[in-house]
Homo-oligomer: A and B are copies of this chain.
Amino acid sequence: MISKRLRASLDGAVCIRDIFEEGKKLAAIYGKENIFNFSIGNPNVEPPAIVNETMKEVLDTEEPLTLHGYPANVGHPDVRRCVAGHLNKKFGMHYDENGIIMTSGAASALSILCNTFLDIDDEVITFAPYFWEYKSYVETLYGKLVPALCDQKTLQPDPETFEAAFTPKTRMVFINNPNNPTGAVYTEESIKKVAEIMERKQKEYGHPIYLISDEPYRLLAYGGLEVPYLPLYYKNTIVVYSYSKTLSIPGERVGYIALSDDVADYQDIIAGITASIRYLGYVNAPSLQQKILLKCVDASVDVSIYEKNRDLLYHSLTDIGYDCIHPDGAFYLFMRSLEPDDFEFCQKAKEERILMAPGTAFSGPGFVRISYCVPYEVVERSIPAFKRLYDKYQK
């Protein structure tokens, strides 16, 4: 007696979380050190010490009734000012506190934006491969997610495919940079083309189309690479951020939505977001987690740990003979499956106790996603297993 819609969705679901949970079970049987669980993006780098320090400081200094009481739906004003100031300094923006809305992470922000902008059958374009939950966020609110497949060699947005994806029902474009699942960082050149097409489409249809820049991996870009800040390229950009990866606190659910008053219908959007926070049952992002940002807004995990993993994994796998797209950010490596069916390939990998996510789950068939947010030793020990897997296909 659950809803027909949910029933259908569950029956068709590929749940990466299930692969991860299976990995934990296998670890219990074979020993943790013998399972190479690359299935989900659970950060493995320690949160910076300032996270716990600040939590305790906040608990010691703030009046408990106020600290744990209801903040405004949009969040604590001092925290929002702090985030605005941080972004203004970093990107030369002109946010004020009204344009910063604290959310329970990026996932919640995307749901809230879907509720803000979508009527039934309205469309959201995203670049494929994409984080599989995008479809859920959009479809849960009865919208339609339209994938625009990236160039299969570079995994950069393909302008033609992107342009062809627009219809008069397009309300938003979701862009995830650096990208989950591919690890690609979309270049300034790609972004400029995306912006140019969107400007044209806005004119053609005579209404704003919002670019939703989902960037929880912003700080996880390697080799000194700069990730373009999209509001500087396209006026109607709304930024979605999460501290899950930067501070290694994904279980604590805190992030924000940022929009400047350059964004068309700025006031209406803020009113819509505020209502959606209530209507979807969020009420507010957890108060204590918001408050730590007053001290942690500039903090970050040691990103070099992920970069070291990436280097070892990318070089070892390509040395073996695998075809990998060089990942410049996030903690994912997208690798071509050794057989057309990437599910089947993931099954074979399991025989070597390697757990990966099939690309099909991300609308990237023929690939697998390797989440390298694991201890360096796990990457090291996994290499012979990857070699054995490769060799099986050479017979």
Q: Which residues of A contact B (CB under 8 A)?
A: 1-7, 9-10, 13, 17, 21, 40, 42-47, 51-52, 55-56, 59, 64-65, 67-73, 104-105, 107-112, 115-120, 122, 133, 136-137, 139-142, 171, 207-208, 210, 247-253, 264-265, 268-269, 271-272, 275-276, 278-289
A53 and chain B: residue at smallest CB distance: B59
Given A56-B59, A265-B1, A279-B137 contact (CB < 8 Å): yes
A108 touching B3, Cβ below 8 Å? no
Q: Lowest 8 A-B CB distances belong to which pairs? A: A111-B281, A251-B287, A2-B272, A107-B281, A108-B281, A68-B249, A136-B279, A286-B286
State in angstroms the CA–CA spacing of A122 and B4 once bound together: 11
A3 touching B253, Cβ below 8 Å? no
State in angstroms the CA–CA spacing of A251 and B287 once bound together: 5
11 A/B residue pairs, CB under 8 Å, sorted by A = A1-B207, A2-B271, A3-B117, A6-B115, A40-B70, A55-B288, A56-B56, A69-B251, A107-B281, A107-B283, A142-B142
Given A1-B268, A6-B275, A52-B59, A251-B115 contact (CB < 8 Å): no
Given A1-B171, A59-B52, A251-B69, A281-B137 contact (CB < 8 Å): yes
CB contacts (< 8 Å) of A7 on chain B: these are 268, 272
**Chain B nearest CB, measured from A381 CB (Å):** 20
Please pick, from B44, B104, B284, the residue contacting A65 in the complex, using a CB distance under 8 A: B44
Q: How many copies does the complex hold?
A: 2
B251 touching A3, Cβ below 8 Å? no
CB contacts (< 8 Å) of A59 on chain B: these are 52, 55-56
CB contacts (< 8 Å) of A272 on chain B: these are 2-3, 6-7, 10
CB contacts (< 8 Å) of A278 on chain B: these are 107, 133, 136
A117 touching B68, Cβ below 8 Å? no
CB contacts (< 8 Å) of A264 on chain B: these are 1
**Chain B nearest CB, measured from A109 CB (Å):** 7
**Chain B nearest CB, measured from A209 CB (Å):** 9
Given A68-B248, A69-B251, A105-B283, A1-B140 contact (CB < 8 Å): no
CB contacts (< 8 Å) of A283 on chain B: these are 104-105, 107-108, 250, 253
**Chain B nearest CB, measured from A53 CB (Å):** 9
CB contacts (< 8 Å) of A252 on chain B: these are 68, 286-288
A139 and chain B: residue at smallest CB distance: B279
Interface centre among A105, A120, A142, A288 (most CB of B within 10 A): A288
State in angstroms the CA–CA spacing of A265 and B141 once bound together: 24
A40 and chain B: residue at smallest CB distance: B70
**Chain B nearest CB, measured from A376 CB (Å):** 15
B69 touching A112, Cβ below 8 Å? no
**Chain B nearest CB, measured from A115 CB (Å):** 6
CB contacts (< 8 Å) of A71 on chain B: these are 251
Given A1-B207, A107-B281, A286-B251, A9-B275 contact (CB < 8 Å): yes
Please pick, from B43, B117, B280, the residue contacting A280 in the complex, using a CB distance under 8 A: B280
B119 touching A5, Cβ below 8 Å? yes
B69 touching A42, Cβ below 8 Å? yes
